Chain A
């Protein structure tokens, strides 16, 4: 029976790993040294070995031209996987490994830690106006506006929303997989997020009680489902609706948000979705995916709109008329 709280030695081990990970320069570019991949994951060695053959696309089986009577053991694993029964048994392992890479591409966008927690002895985290723990983060989403970033608060919520945004784009792409594969891949991608979220809650936010973490995880799941709906609605109905969804989720419906920032994120999303669209299933399933920075869409988001010079009609200025008297009943 699992214990109700994270034991102190496990927590210490996780924190030490986190400290080492931060001290090591985060060179999470496309060439990643093999050993950092396993640092904070929860996979066992057996699964790591299984990860090697990653393609799930059914390769058309070519009849071996050399010696047909020889029993080809090297292709046995992939051929067994192609049969229906074994595919459903082995697919989750492949999906787990590949979606881990896909998730890491999402998580790389924005990472944070809370320095107070690493001190000896640990101090409570600083809080912002909304009583959320504030940390120190990396990524253009959280760098201050003066340095060209969006200047979002470095909180768990921001991290979750930024990762959700990228996972949403992955989800849209995963829908293009054949029906029997898509469900498993969606589920595994989501699982990786929840493992990471729970890690962060336990390590950086002091939530050692499983019950508290579960409460927040359930809330996160509801946010994810709502986000899927909102962003899909934006995809169907156009940029303004997508921007409103981004404003609601990422910018927390703040009236202090800059419309230009919301537009930048919307343009970024559209561009990344197109890039993922143009990627083949094989490349995508192998996990070799990376997102660009905002520089690619900055010019487009600043482009002069023809509306700026159009004259105003009386229809346009309806809002400025004084309020009508209530209709006589």
Chain B
């Protein structure tokens, strides 16, 4: 795979890799992709293999090959665990400091 093609592949991956709003200050995977785009990694890396692996990940190839059943995604002990988590992950980055305080105080008391 030529260097030009590699760069184009990494550029495409950068547009499609999911952004992480929850951890703004942590290292992002995009940094790894951008580094590969700007400079070729050490000789042992097989570029085609790397790019292919990244494409498989954005395609959810593994999730489609091994789909989990409703037993796991709606577990008996907490049927709404994953749906609640999804909502929380959606709302959390936009919360202000005061919203966080209110949520923590509300969480102190859990009504049965």
Contact = CB atoms under 8 A, between A and B. Distances in A.
Interface of A: 172-173, 175-179, 181-183, 229, 232-233, 235-241, 243-244, 247-248, 253, 255-260, 262-264, 266-267, 270-271, 273-274, 277-278, 297, 300-305, 307-308, 312, 315-320
Contact of A176 (B28, B35, B75): B75
Interface string B44-77: 0110111111111111111101111101110111
Interface core residue of A253, A255, A256, A257 (most chain B CB under 10 Å):
A255
Nearest to B45: A258
Contacts of B43: none
B37 A319 contact: yes
Nearest to B11: A319
**Interface of B (DSSP majority class):** helix
Given A257-B32, A304-B52, A308-B55, A239 B63 contact: yes
B57 A240 contact: yes
Contacts, number: 171
25 contacts: A181-B77, A182-B76, A235-B68, A236-B82, A239-B62, A239-B63, A240-B17, A240-B57, A243-B29, A253-B26, A259-B54, A260-B49, A260-B53, A273-B72, A278-B69, A297-B62, A301-B56, A301-B62, A302-B49, A303-B56, A305-B61, A308-B48, A308-B55, A317-B11, A318-B11
A229 B89 CA distance: 9
Contacts of A308: 9, 48, 51-52, 55
Given A260-B49, A319-B11, A305 B77 contact: no
A48 to B, nearest CB: 28
Given A239-B61, A253-B27, 8 more contacts: A173-B72, A176-B71, A236-B82, A240-B18, A258-B45, A267-B62, A271-B66, A307-B59
Contacts of B109: none
Interface in B1-37: 7-12, 14-15, 17-18, 20, 22, 26-29, 31-32, 34-35, 37
A176 B76 contact: yes
A239 B85 contact: no
Nearest to A319: B11
A320 B33 CA distance: 13
Interface residues of B, number: 57
B82 A270 contact: no
B61 A303 contact: yes
Contacts of B34: 319
B56 A270 contact: no
Nearest to A277: B72
A239 B26 contact: no
B85 A270 contact: no
A238 B60 contact: yes
A258 B66 CA distance: 23
A319 B15 contact: yes
B81 interface: yes
Contact of A241 (B18, B68, B77): B18
Contacts of A241: 18, 20
Contacts of B22: 233
Contact of A248 (B26, B49, B63, B82): B26
Given A179-B76, A263-B57, A238 B18 contact: yes
A182 B81 CA distance: 13
A244 B32 CA distance: 11
A242 to B, nearest CB: 8
Given A244-B20, A305-B52, A232 B57 contact: no
Contact of B85 (A232, A238, A258): A232
A179 B18 contact: no
Nearest to A315: B15
A178 B78 CA distance: 9
